[in-house]
Structure 1
């Protein structure tokens, strides 16, 4: 197997990831979806091939049943011929833990917790699944800071006793009992412990001194006694001496966390507040009005403004509809997408046409109307208002059924099969009725008499029902029996809305504590906490394809996160009085939002599908001519210049040829043009910027060429090109008229006319000209120029998906071009897609160690830091990203600002004036690099107040 090879007429090999004992893994491009995947092929070697095939097929079978955000998703299994066995998975992007180097105790704890949460999911499945090969090279440290578990080649289900005696694992990381063929869940815990030993000490436990098979950890690095004891228990040689389960190991790890100032202070307050509860409450309410004191009481309030660097805002408002006279608390599209219903506290629910945006019908309640939902047939509307739930016939506008909820209704949902309706209420309960008869079924007592229930939602398959409310919890129920299945804790204030992913594997909850939490439905373990806003988060919704998670908040911002890493892809103002409810249409790209000012908005999200562009007809390089030696030399130089790919050695070689040609014929026109092109490429800086004097020197060379041969098309188009760089548009147009008289359909003529059209914002004309270049056929350099022109056209048109497609094609056409990879990385940074941008920028740096591509890589690292700090509240990880950015580009003001933000966050949490001084120093450094940096200016202005509150 070689790069470029296509497997099964679908998967084109890109590069080899690595080889294991039984298989070889590749990065491949799925040509159906235009995405990169991991393609794993089984290596067959001889007599024991049947065992390898059995393990490989078992790996595929088990992976197909798994659904966890930290396990790359199974995509398919297929065979080619009689000996080609292939497995396809989602590609995990990042570095293996074997490659990240040593980590400190804090990072080791974080990694341990994430891996153990994955193992808890696997071990709690029915039947339990054992990985049996947990080791550094099978853990990917993703670009978002989270850990992925990969390579399930040794996987085993506990009910599968066919391999009970099979010895599988990696020496140094496999538990002792695995060498006897007796793996259990505790064996995977040994692998975690052994991996942590490697990350902390640089070797496996087997390479360390032992006493009666027990590992003796070195004295350095120094670990806290509690964590050291925990780690030693993980690598106990006898399985019965280890933790009983991954869940127990996590609980103990959490228990032995080092005490922080917040914990100590909390214990003190618990003693002092017994007789002073009212006084403390009043003090906090007063302090909340003072931003300096609030910063100390609520550390996240001390974070400076989030650094927003999106250049291409892909989410757009399609329409804003003034729908109601009061706040909209419910919004839901119909299943066919032709209708959308809204519910408002003005006492009405209205159904709207999504074609004309006209109101088709209005339904009333006597009091506040807070929720709406459609039955799956789209013909029946359910509304919740005052203390009633009503079902309406949308076509006839007649009431079909009224149900008594006993208290103010806050949310309604209907099971997918349409047989059960549930409504949540202010009295702390959710009530269920059967449909279509409306018979009361049962009451789900979430917090009766103790607080309100704000929302309720079924899993897509109807197997579970969730409720949430004032008590800061989400509760999971069996809807058929009413039994409580589990409670999801973690929020600090009331939970406002719930959303399940379409596949039913995840549940998201928004909260007044300014966060969104995501849990796995299977096992209820937490996946991620998103610090989603500077104020209360009121609404949350998953897109039907599961790719996006949207959150709306009181601070009038709409945020959209991309799975699986949950990085913030969009953050846009909604220009309203807060976003109270969100709902995606079934197309997955239309998002509806209901607002406190009575309007609802329609948003369009990107499709991320290839934009329809004509395929470029790439002509081969022309044959070298038979003729004078200077002509042959000039054409050879032209070929080198076209394929220089940012490497100045290619220009040096081309210049040698041109100088040789000019030595033979000093006025040889084509050679003079080639020398002008070399001059331009060497003097290029960025955009349309060149080093001083470069354009003048190139102009002189081209003028000499035209004087020597007035009909040379290369000279005429080169003159127009230079005049456009000099911004002498009218002279450039005249030069193009001269060029078109010689060769009207020449690709460079079309390309330069397109550039003039862009300057006039005649986007359609520019696009037409450039598509003519692609369709008519051109050499590679002309095709690249046409793609560059289309980038400018589509940016002007706001067609960012089209820009993405053009960049993708440029990289495909120029796989060894640092410019192509670097420019694509820069574009993706502007889209907020830092993960892919990092990969491309690193590739650009590998190709050509050029300052600009280092700057692009630094920008990608900054975005990763922004996500870690402002979304995930991972201060240390964010600092690492910002420091990495400064190593790539010491002049990055954004990296300095991000670093300042981490010091400020830690300084407030720890009440450390030295950290706050470091924050101020970084802000001042950022302003030296960019005196108009808006975020640094604002943060520096806030510094004195923050420092005073901490110092006081």
Structure 2
């Protein structure tokens, strides 16, 4: 790539890309060299351009953005402009892999026809006369709820087109570099129960109550693969060093996957109750699984054989390997067991509260999360070395940064505690959308925390500052109940959104779609796995049977269901719900 001369000076005060490099980028679509930009707002950048650049004049308009900036969402139909005729001429890859579209149009397009290309923004040319380009309009998607900031940049008569292209690109690049926010990862139809980061740091694996696993690209925040095999919620996911993925869940089965393949390469069976956690040995040859059948199993990843480690007297909820190859397991029986391999003999440490999670630092220190909301640290030999109060409610998930400096502890009540491990100091608690959080994982940068919550979305947080990276989509058109705002029945139904859709055109979630509910026999929806117990029942869904379901609860009315136990005590609320379902699910 050709670089600009060292003597060329930018007309901007801020540090932005050199114009020669960007011109090369626009022409050839190649990756520009890296640069450092100050964290300034779009308005500030454009105001500075208007005040200091005699060639370029920028004006800014924003359609009432009510919240924080979030790129990677452009209003309108991304394909509309392609049908209307604009032709992509070049491509520019922006900071954090944002892609900026570049196209030409005969008529000045509005936001509804801006060419998006699935990216952060679009640049379109206005033609006042055929063959002459006098004005460029930039649509920059850095506003929430689909609002756009629009920049109109005029070219001075006689100004070289290439120079204008360079300046426009520099403006857009600077604005996007100044904004570090990214969109939420939305794809699951139920609460997210587990997260894992790939060894190369490029992919994220998420397992959900909706029975699906999604492999995400962390470069583009898009789903690369959806893995469907499990018959129940997926509680644990891990990556192997060779890129393979392992998933396990409430169906007591473990699946081993190759990237890109629709079916698992191998299924490991042996547990007889839900699997709660997985861990891979430091040398990558063994897989450990913790189960509610009160056992830990060690699986050979070469031939799939297993051995059973027995001794826990209650559910086993967590497993983790020490750097020296020993295995740690924790459970509801208050016991932390350190298993010596290969003889399988444990050293047992009894702690004050039932244990939900365990993780291990690079130096071998063991960290446990308990139902009393406290983290307890132990030496590799099992001696308690510290304690931190992380949450007023039970800790349900733990994660540790790659360098072992930070611990993230998710409490069932809703907050995520960030703890400095060495000092045992609670730095802050993360509170925001998508809580409670059931899964946490640190990225390789040691500061970015990924969380998976009850609303089925994956979010980024800056663990050092405590700030969310991105914004919630709740309340926007992405909310399936947005069209029913103010409807009391919809408010009652909101607790069911994580598991059920109202339309059969939506992506299937953990439970069957409710489209066409009334008049349908229980367990008769094609394509959904129902238990034999439900199939044997003689229930037809009507407003009366739905009301009865929530009056006495699913366990009493439909024994054998996977539906979480919940009741609606108010007859008025039950009536509002059944009336809403009649309106919202009719075909």
> With structure 1 as the length reference, what TM-score do the two structures score?
0.29
Higher relative contact order (CA 8 A, sep 6+): 2
**Structure with a larger share of its residues in helix:** 1
Instruction: Give the number of the structure whose alpha-carbon radius of gyration is greater.
Output: 1
Higher strand proportion, which one?
Answer: 2
